[in-house]
Structure 1
């Protein structure tokens, strides 16, 4: 996720300021966000307070499932509306450069000045996005290290000066450098592979729960069997539409994860 955030940011910056090559903007973005996260304790503190506050607010809601469905429905309608408007502006999906399609379309809509102004807003918000995504990723790795899921000596430690997971921040920065040799489409394909496979697993878990609990609970076949099967089929179809490279690398990464999890639970005797 940090790599994709930096890729998007660098694409927009390269369009706005083409004198600096794409790889140069990647180095600037990775270096700057990592520096801020390593030294910016106050920013990390404010972010953590915000996330904690949101978490408390969610726990205090009575109708969490209903709220989740409402948010997803609203987001879905918004995406559908935006996609429809984009098709009115630029019918079809052929662009001179697909990575900067948003910029090219904004030129069609409002001219060069409008496009540059809009792009500036995307650059500012993109930097904030990269900052927060890297911070949250490094904290997730820290929690996994603290729980001995990852080597605690490296991932489960904080800097005594800034109380930031410096090793994890540097680790995500190094991973982000892999984006120098990737297109935005390829990088997002990796994320989509994990997301679609994760959603497939969620549906599979519902089916497993149905077979385990059907004797002691009254569970509907439509809700607990038919819909999850449909969900699995849709997500597996979406996986099949990704690039072959993304699927191969994703399967290799998945295999490594299964091997590591097996070693962690059987060799180390962890639950």
Structure 2
């Protein structure tokens, strides 16, 4: 088992040479700006609009305050990721950190829980496509948009279309431009005092809001930060992984956090009572129409659909590759999941499985879907904080390289707040998540013959 650096262990020398990983050769060519940009592309900045209406209703108009709460949780977790990525600079994530510091069997369960996120993200994308297009064309049934999104992404993935880094850059630029235009129109309306809009601290005032309601609203907002941790899997391609990966993690969380608070603050000032919008779930497109007219709403929804299709394409292939890797390694049946098409190099069966799972969007509402996605996220976040505590006690603190506050106190607070947010998730999501965890536990119990054998390997999701 890999351990943290010891007192007499020299620092790892970083060089821009190739790194061998099994049969792969990864070139160290990513600088800090590349890592940050790829992390933002994976997060999808327009995610800030997804749950605004639901959270605004749940928190009585305190979405920015709910964001501050989730930012605290994510920042502490990001610091833990940064510390762990420094001491375990190989490609890794919550699964790797839990496996190396806690226990391989616990690591498997963390990886199994996190896998649920990757399998269901395409479902969430299809659901969001239906919500946003429904705001523009309400006469078209939602299932049409769900199936259209799934079919487009599935066909493109099966024929072997891949998103290049340049397309990811375009994707991020389009989202940022759309979001900044939204912010511009919102600020203009506030400055003109449209319908009595004015600057106020009410969106940050916790008075009169039950803590449970605030936690419940905040628990849905982890969706906006999903993917900041994915850049830890790029450690073997970074030129300076021990410095740039931690910095990129913190930069992504800070930039995204400021951006999300600014956007939701402006929206909340315009609509202190979100029920006046009409469609709470599709509040963002309605607000876009209110602040910029029908033309801006069309541009807003068009930019969002571009992001949804881009993310859906990448996320479906990432999930399919994850299933393929698990099949190749024998964690899942190899005959079914460990096969790829010889002509296109695509795991066609896995892509189809993800498409079938995505069809569940026709039967779920946004709150339930977001809670399902966040179930695995909070398990992973809590596991990374706990891993840092154990690593500090076992390996790092004796070396004098990490203090008790950064290595024990902060991650302990991170475990507590992530647990509180996890407990605040939708009840049905917790039931489905726990059933998924029980299936993984039963599989682990049988596969290891009562934990007497080593835990099977869990493959790490890869960023495109």
TM-score over 0.5 (shorter chain): yes
1:234 aligns with 2:417: yes
1:78-111: CA deviations, max 9, x gaps?
A: 1111121111221244352222111011122112
Q: Shift in Å at residue 57 of structure 1?
A: 8.8
- Once the two structures are TM-superposed, the CA of residue 113 in structure 1 deviates from its matched residue by 2.2
Report the CA distance between 1:192 and its aligned residue.
Answer: 1.0
Aligned to 1:21: 141
| Deviation at residue 206 of structure 1 after TM alignment | 1.6
Instruction: Say yes or no: does 1:44 pair with 2:227.
Output: no
Structure 2 residue 123 is the aligned partner of structure 1 residue 3: yes
In the alignment, the residues of structure 2 paired with residue 35 and residue 153 of structure 1 have an alpha-carbon distance, to the nearest angstrom, of 22
Q: 5+ residue gaps in structure 2?
A: 1-120, 170-232, 456-464
Higher-helix-fraction structure: 1
Give the stretch that moved more between structures: 225-234 or 67-76.
67-76
Gaps of 5+ in 1: none
CA RMSD for the aligned pairs?
2.6
CA distance in 1, matches of 2:397, 2:405: 16
Count how many residue pairs are aligned between Structure 1 and Structure 2: 267
The answer to whether the aligner puts 1:209 opposite 2:329 as a matched pair is: no
Residue 200 of structure 1: CA displacement?
Answer: 0.8
Q: 1:79 aligned to 2:246?
A: no
Tell me, yes or no, if the aligned pair for 2:397 and 2:404 is still in contact at 8 Å: no
Pick closer, same or farther for the CA change 1:21–1:223 going to 2, 3 Å: same
* Residue in 2 that maps onto 1:262: 445
Report the Cα distance in structure 2 between the residues aligned to 1:97 and 1:57, rounded to whole angstroms.
Answer: 46
> Is this contact kept in 1: 2:136–2:298, CA < 8 A?
yes
Is the CA contact 1:89–1:108 (under 8 Å) kept in the aligned structure 2?
no
**Aligned counterpart, 2:362:** 180
Q: Is the 8 A contact 1:142 1:156 kept in 2?
A: yes
1:186, distance to aligned residue in structure 2 (A):
0.7
1:20-68 Cα shifts (integer Å, max 9, x gaps):
20012211211221111111x2x22747x989xx948951135221232
In the alignment, what sits opposite 1:61?
240
- Tell whether the 8 Å contact from 1:158 to 1:166 is kept in structure 2 after alignment: yes
Structure 2 counterparts to residues 115-264 of structure 1, below 5 A = 115-213=297-395, 216-218=398-400, 219-264=402-447
SS in 1 for 2:129: helix
* 191 and 45 in structure 1: CA distance in 2 versus 1, 3 angstrom threshold: closer
TM-score computed with the length of structure 1 as normaliser = 0.89
| Residues 215 and 3 of structure 1, relative CA distance in 2, 3 Å threshold | closer
Give the secondary structure class of the aligned counterpart of 1:99.
coil
Cα gap change, 1:105 to 1:57, in 2 (>3 Å): farther
1:176-231: per-residue Cα shift (whole Å, max 9, x none)?
11121101111111111111121111111122223323674335221221111100
Query: Aligned equivalents of 1:196 and 1:125: distance in 2?
Result: 24
Residues 263 and 126 of structure 1, relative CA distance in 2, 3 Å threshold:
same
| Higher mean C-alpha displacement, 210-219 vs 144-153 | 210-219
Paired residue secondary structure (2:144): helix
Asked if structure 1 preserves the Cα contact closer than 8 Å seen for 2:397 and 2:403, the reply is: no
Deviations 1:218-255 (A, max 9, x none): 35221221111100111111112211111122122122
